[in-house]
Amino acid sequence: MSSIETGKHYNQPASNLTDKVPPVDTRKYFDAVTKSLSKAKEPPTAKDAVSSQPDGSSVKSYLHIITKYTSGMELLIKDKELGLDHVFEVNPKAAPLNMKDLIKYIGETHVLEGKQSAFTRDETICPGIMVIINECDWEVMDELDYVLKNDDTIEFISTLHGG
Amino acid sequence: MDNRDRISQLKARLSRIRSEELEVMAELCALEAAESSLAAPKDLADGKLSPEEIRRYSRQLLIPEIGTRGQRQLRDSSVLVVGTGGLGSPCALYLAAMGVGTLGLVDHDTVDYSNLHRQIIHTEAACGSSKVISACLGLSRLNPLCRVRAHNVLLDSSNAKEIMQGYDLVVDATDNAATRYLINDACVMLDIPLVSGSAVRLDGQLTVYNYKGGPCYRCLFPTPPPVDAMASCSETGVLGVVPGVIGCLQAMEVVKVLTGRKATEDPNLLIFSYKSQPHFRSIKLRSRKPTCAVCGDVPTVKELVDYAAFCGSGPNDNAPDWKILDDPSQRVTCTEYSRVASNPATKHLLLDVRDETQFDICSLPNSLNIPIDQFDQRLAELERAIRELDGAPVYTVCRRGNLSQLAVVYIRQKLGYGQCYDIARGLVGWQQEVDSDFPAY
């Protein structure tokens, strides 16, 4: 079974995919390739992807992000993944990808059908889920407005109440 | 008398002694509750350790970080452990063993057979008895130098501050969100540091709140999570040793706070998982949030509130009983279904909609297991099973009669099959109403 899947072109309404390309492309990214961290021996990296584009004029921009799911968050993710490795082909002419975009993308693409309401709520993360950006609580890092950087690791941790 | 007789005689005697011990402890706790005051008796004027204490704690005294100074700090401190379950058991045992002078215990529950795999302060003989009394007995065996105060009550907004007042530190070893917010708010109002632990399934978390400019629980989680997102041990299970690991670490954090070591550390959240490698990770946390509703510069929560209402669920870790099917004619009782099942001429399908792990534990005879989460994937199988019924009824069953109602809705509305009923109260009800030998879990 292949663990690679192609993400949606989500910033564009589905109907636009078949219509003619709009004059100014406002999509923040064109494509997203995701591998399972546990299954992939060699996760895709932005560096690899860029180096495969030798023609300087048409170099594509890539953004490599790792997402992790712990303390039960993995139960919301398709195939109960503990970690995913994403490479976004970003649109250099659009605004950069931020946490709000990432949460929306994960919610739409990787969260189990019917479990979305336990992941996102009111365009942000559900209460009770901690978001950790590079080992640091996202509250000290602009939260939804945090602009994703290459090789960032974003972790989603649900709070536990049992004992 | 041969050996075998003697063995059974001794075993009977042992179990007599064990239940007698509990009776003695219950009376002792009641008498002591009327007597004791929280203040440690300062009978040693110079505060020095007694020869007995030196002998008992010698291995700890040898560590420079603790020494006689640290040991005296532990002895002269009082710690309240709320909850004597999976976290509170090891935590209280270690705090008493290490020499904390006064230990308060709060629990309103009784010991259940299903607690014993993780709540190691309790014994089989204590099943059915008060957890607090059982815990006092465990601690008294271990270290009579530790003064234990038993609070055999459910901690709530009306009594929390009164009970917590005067303790140097509170340990949150509870099992539900409502009590976690209650304890946090009371700790902020009384200015008491809070050592908070939690554990479910294979994961655990540990944080010290409300300490030296660090955050409180509400700084991190201003809004309670949706009710259906809260996992409890009774619903989703827990590996025995996982709360044990976290409870032990809570006891360690208590030592660090009481001896002052903790003041040198930045606020952090420790995350433990059975599955991850390494098992432990520490996440850096924010400091106190100036806009926090309870510990902020201008607090809006100044008194304890109704935490069951705030969280949408009360102070227990049991699943609520859902009411999905309004029409009572779409439900049958366990007794009614037992009549259907006992008549071999009655054609029907018994559809068990629990997950495979639970189905594996126990199931009713002749049941088909299709977990409700797999209805869409296994639609063809489900439709075939229903087609073969020729109009005979489908009975859906689960653990408590919650998911089975959703299954009825699915089969009636999505598949358009009207002959579908849910067995109210599920297998728990079956064990209580029909077959007491059926395993309850």
- Which residues in chain A touch residue B223, judged by CB atoms under 8 angstroms apart? 127-128
Residue spans in chain B of domains classed CATH 3.40.50.720: 15-33+46-311
Distances (CA, A) of A101 to A24, A28, A45, B56, B372: 19, 9, 20, 59, 32
Would you state the pLDDT for residue A1? 39
Residue spans in chain B of domains classed CATH 3.40.250.10: 328-433
Contacts of B65 (CB under 8 A, 6+ apart): B259, B261
Three-state DSSP class for A131?
Answer: strand
Closest approach of chain A CAs to the CA of B208, in angstroms? 15
Would you state the pLDDT for residue A5? 47
In the annotation, is B398 catalytic?
yes
Q: Are B81 and B95 in contact (CB under 8 A)?
A: yes
Q: What angle do CA B232, B233, B239 make, to 5 degrees?
A: 140
Which residue of A lies nearest to B272 if distances are taken between CA atoms?
A71
Closest approach of chain B CAs to the CA of A63, in angstroms? 24
Which residue of B lies nearest to A113 if distances are taken between CA atoms?
B373
Nearest C-alpha neighbor of A127 from the set B234, B213, B312, B233:
B312
Whole-angstrom distance, CA of residue B286 vs CA of residue B209:
11
pLDDT digits (tens, 9 = 90+) for B232-241: 677 789 999 9
Q: What angle do CA A35, A37, A42 make, to 5 degrees?
A: 75
Name residues 77-116 of chain A within 8 A of B (Cβ).
Answer: 82, 113
Would you state the pLDDT for residue A37? 80
Whole-angstrom distance, CA of residue B218 vs CA of residue B288:
10
Whole-angstrom distance, CA of residue B155 vs CA of residue B287:
28
Q: Strand ranges (DSSP E) for B65-156?
A: 78-82, 102-106, 147-151
Contacts of B268 (CB under 8 A, 6+ apart): B207, B282, B283, B284, B285
- Which residues in chain B touch residue A126, judged by CB atoms under 8 angstroms apart? 225-226, 229
CA torsion angle B378 A116 A77 B219 (round to 10): -150
Would you state the pLDDT for residue A6? 47
Binding residues of B: 86, 107, 114-118, 131, 175-176, 216, 219, 292, 295
Would you state the pLDDT for residue B276? 86
State whether residue A23 sits within 8 Å of chain B by CB.
no
Size of interface A-B (CB pairs under 8 A): 113
Nearest C-alpha neighbor of B208 from the set B240, B174, B156, B252:
B252
- Residue extents of the structural domains in chain A: 3-39, 61-161
Whole-angstrom distance, CA of residue B300 vs CA of residue B312:
20
pLDDT digits (tens, 9 = 90+) for A78-102: 887 889 999 999 988 889 999 999 9
Asked casually if ipTM beats, i.e. exceeds, 0.85, the reply is: no
Residues of chain B predicted below pLDDT 70: 36-46, 228-232, 317-320
State whether residue A142 sits within 8 Å of chain B by CB.
no
User: For chain A, how many helices (H) and strands (E)?
Assistant: 2, 9
- Which residues in chain A touch residue B86, judged by CB atoms under 8 angstroms apart? 162-163
Of A23-27, A135-139, B386-390, give the lowest mean pLDDT range. Answer: A23-27
pLDDT digits (tens, 9 = 90+) for A42-83: 555 555 555 444 444 456 789 999 999 988 898 899 887 889
pLDDT band, residue A130 (cuts 50/70/90): very high
Give the count of alpha carbons within 13 A of B299, CB side only: 14
Distances (CA, A) of A36 to A41, A80, A103, A111, A120: 9, 10, 17, 14, 21
State whether residue A72 sits within 8 Å of chain B by CB.
yes
Helix axes B241-259, B88-98, angle to 10 degrees: 40
Task: Check B146, B233, B334, B420 and give the catalytic one.
Answer: B233
pTM, rounded to two decimals: 0.85
Whole-angstrom distance, CA of residue B63 vs CA of residue B259:
13
- Phi, psi for residue B176 in degrees, rounded to 5: -155, 155
Name the burial class of residue A150, with classes exposed (0-12), middle (13-18) and buried (19+) by CB atoms within 10 angstroms of its CB. middle
Tokens representing A118 are 């336990």
Chain A contact probe: residue of B286, B313, B372 with most A CBs at under 10 A: B286
Would you state the pLDDT for residue B292? 96
Look up the CATH architecture of domain A61-161: Roll (3.10)
**CB spacing of B87 vs A163 below 8 angstroms:** yes
Class of domain B15-33+46-311: alpha beta
Contacts of B209 (CB under 8 A, 6+ apart): B184, B187, B193, B194, B196, B215, B216, B217
**CB spacing of B224 vs A129 below 8 angstroms:** no
**CB spacing of A163 vs B285 below 8 angstroms:** no
Pairing of strands B331-332, B420-423: parallel
Whole-angstrom distance, CA of residue B405 vs CA of residue B413:
12
Whole-angstrom distance, CA of residue B197 vs CA of residue B90:
12
CA torsion sign, B419 to B421 to B427 to B429? negative
**Mean per-residue pLDDT of chain A:** 79
Whole-angstrom distance, CA of residue B63 vs CA of residue B37:
32
Distances (CA, A) of A137 to A38, A52, A66: 24, 35, 16
Q: Above pLDDT 70, what percent of chain A? A: 72
Q: Of the candidates B197, B224, B275, which has its C-beta nearest A127's C-beta?
A: B224
Q: Of the candidates A121, A140, A161, which has its C-beta nearest B177's C-beta?
A: A161
Would you state the pLDDT for residue A9? 47
Q: Are B423 and B332 in contact (CB under 8 A)?
A: yes
**Is the pLDDT score of A33 beyond 50?**
yes
Question: Token pair 């509130």 is at which residue?
Answer: B305
Greatest Cα-to-Cα distance within chain B, rounded to the nearest angstrom: 88
State whether residue A4 sits within 8 Å of chain B by CB.
no
Domain spanning B328-433: which superfamily? Answer: Rhodanese-like domain (3.40.250.10)
Would you state the pLDDT for residue A75? 87
